[in-house]
Amino acid sequence: MFTGVDWAVIAAYFGLLLGVTWWCVRKNKDTADDYFLAGRHLAWWIVGASIFASNIGSEHLVGLAGSGCTDGVAMAHYELHAWCLLVLGWVFVPFYMRSRVYTMPEFLEKRFTPTARWVLSIISLVAYVLTKLAVGIYAGGVVFGTLLPELHLNIGGIHLDSFWVGSLAVLAATGAYTVLGGFRAVAYTEAIQTVILILGSVLVTVFGIAKLGGWSELRAALPSDMFNLWKPLVPAGVEGVWSPVKETGRMAWYFNGHFPWLGMLFCAPIIGLWYWCTDQYIVQRTLGAPSEREARRGSIFAAFLKLLPVFIFIIPGMICMALTLSGKVPAFSQLLDASGKANADACQAAFPLMVAHVLPVGLRGIVVAGLLAALMSSLAGTFNASSTLFTVDLYEKFRPGASQHQLVRIGRVATAIMVVIGMLWIPVIKGSKGLYFYLQSVQGYLAPPIFTVFFLGVFFKRLNGKGCLAALITGFALGVFRLAVDTPIALGLKGFENGYAQGSFLWIVNNIYFQYFSLLIFFVSVIVMVVVSYMTAAPSDDNIRGLTFATTTPEQKTATRASWDRRDVVASGVVLALILAAYLYFRG
């Protein structure tokens, strides 16, 4: 399948990463500020490219393309939430930059209490294990299993197929440069990986369209609903109307449907704003900028880049299904089940299949390098964010006298431990309804309480630490409960092959659509935070000065106004116009 030229391109890619890592190792100082935030010297274009590369990882290469293959542009809703990055740049960056924090939990400590800080740290670490780490490792295995199915290893009598060989290879390579080079290596390699990723993915789209015979052939080969962002995608026999999901004769509030409009309209933005504005994994890039101006411009640049996945991941997945239905690539027939419908599990391999069977010899190496870039950048960002959270928010609290060298060493050890835990969670992902669906559902269970405390905390100064803590714990408990209910079925454990008894409480919980359950967690978190805060003493203005809109000083407002000009406003307006144009075009 691969020629010598392809392997040479891949080797050159790894050589480039090695060179950048070595440069970062020599430039790094043995301090927490340098290891975790690159000394706060990242230019805006590095910040933006790093945000994009860390976001565009395994869930996009494997899950998003697979979703495009089965459901069309439905998941583009999440990608068109690029406007959330504008909220990060214009609303939250001023608070984060003036607070000079390392982590998001540290900001929560300044706004509320130290207890809120370590609770959020634990929640964030759990979220990283269940989503980013495990998903990244899993997707690496899917890519290798599709492109190099003949790859096998026997280690100590243990047989490893191409899936596990690929997972371990991506894990080892990424872990090496992350642990050695710190955040500077992560940020600079992600900037390089952004270029490679975009170039490789564009090649897949262009050659896929050419193989199919043009855009008109794509529109003709697939149902119009696959090009419709406005109509909810629901299973056969369920009527999509202006209500959440409706079955004939009754409202199916707990019906396990697909992307109902109510969930996409209200739940998806909650997940998006949590991820882009409050998640350490993303925000850490802006914290590495030298000024508010550079951090904001990096966020705006990332918003532009974030619009690309619709065209370089979802569309290739749709092209893959069109080629399958047209019979132009016989090897793609594996994507259909016995009834001729799309097989969701098999469609997870849509993107690597396009690489293997559509691209000409010589270009596959570039695209495979792009695949590896996305897989590795996503994992690298997670490694660094996890080590930062554990070291700064947990270890340093228990060992306040630890030296800078000790903090760096503990961060590296924490990364290795989390990787092992993430690998143990892979079987749960393999038993879910699709990689991207799994990712969005788990984030939907864990994001609402974090979104609540950050957004309400910035906008309403009356809310206090006790309300914040109550909301975090209550919301997290509800999310973990839902995961505990879903996991035995996902794993196919004995006694759960057919799920729970129909009509029972656990069956209802398991069958509530994940976006509706996420909204339930959000409303409960808001109510708990407001009620508990107003039942207890108000926080002192002196303690939260500069951390809410109401307590921002005139000097701080002046400094923020001086950090942007007309160019930043125009660029943000262009992002919003492009999002609107996409919604207007994809109407079926």
pLDDT in tens, 494-518: 767 677 888 888 888 888 888 889 9
215 found inside a domain: yes
Residue 352 lies in a domain: yes
Q: Indicate the pTM of the whole model.
A: 0.79
Which pLDDT score, from 0 to 100, does residue 255 have? 34
**DSSP E strand stretches across 170-315:** 246-247, 250-251
pLDDT at 323 over 50: yes
Nearest to 310 by CA among 36, 98, 487, 60: 60
Confidence of residue 248 (pLDDT cuts 50, 70, 90): very low
Asked if residue 463 is part of any domain, the answer here is no
Average pLDDT (128-133) is 72
* CA dist., res. 136 & res. 138, Å (int): 5
Q: What is the pLDDT of residues 48-78, one digit of tens each?
A: 888 887 777 656 767 788 888 888 887 787 7
The string of pLDDT tens digits covering residues 438-448 is 667 788 888 89
**Range of weakest confidence among 353-362, 372-381, 398-407:** 372-381
Q: Tell me, what DSSP letter sits at residue 314?
A: I
Q: What is the mean pLDDT of residues 244-248?
A: 39
Domain CATH code at residue 326? 1.20.1730.10
- pLDDT band for position 175 (cuts 50, 70, 90): low
Q: Which of 296, 2, 313 is nearest to 149 (CA)?
A: 2
* Residue 454: inside a domain: no
Percent of residues, the chain, with pLDDT higher than 90? 23
Closest CA to 479 of 524, 511, 434, 437: 524
If you average pLDDT over each of 2-11, 119-128, 434-443, which comes out highest?
119-128
Most confident of 9-13, 52-56, 389-393, 544-548: 544-548
The DSSP secondary structure of 116-173, one letter per residue, reads HHHHHHHHHHHHHIIIIIHHHHHHHHHHHHHH-TT--EEETTEEE-HHHHHHHHHHHH
Give me 517's structure tokens.
Answer: 């359950």
- In this prediction, residues 295-309 reach a mean pLDDT of 93
Residue percentage of the chain with pLDDT more than 70: 74
pLDDT at 35 > cutoff 80: no
Which of the residue ranges 49-53, 374-378, 453-457, 510-514 would you say has the lowest mean pLDDT? 374-378
The reply to whether 505 falls in a domain is no
Indicate whether 568 belongs to any domain.
no
Expressed as residue numbers, the domain containing 36 is 4-437
SS (H, E, C) 10-72: HHHHHHHHHHHHHHHHHHCCCCHHHHHHHHHCCCHHHHHHHHHHHHCCHHHHHHHHHHHHHHH
> Model confidence at 235, in pLDDT bands (50, 70, 90)?
very low
The count of structural domains within the chain is: 1
Q: Please indicate, yes or no, if residue 359 is contained in any of the structural domains.
A: yes
How many Å is the Cα radius of gyration of the chain?
Answer: 23
Could you tell me if residue 227 is inside a domain?
Answer: yes
Q: What is the pLDDT of residue 57?
A: 66
Tokens found for residue 113:
């209490």
Tokens of 279: 């998640």
pLDDT band per the 50, 70, 90 thresholds, residue 432: low
- pLDDT of 251 strictly over 60: no
Mean pLDDT of the chain: 79
272, pLDDT greater than 70: yes
214: left (phi over 0), alpha (psi -120 to 50) or beta: left
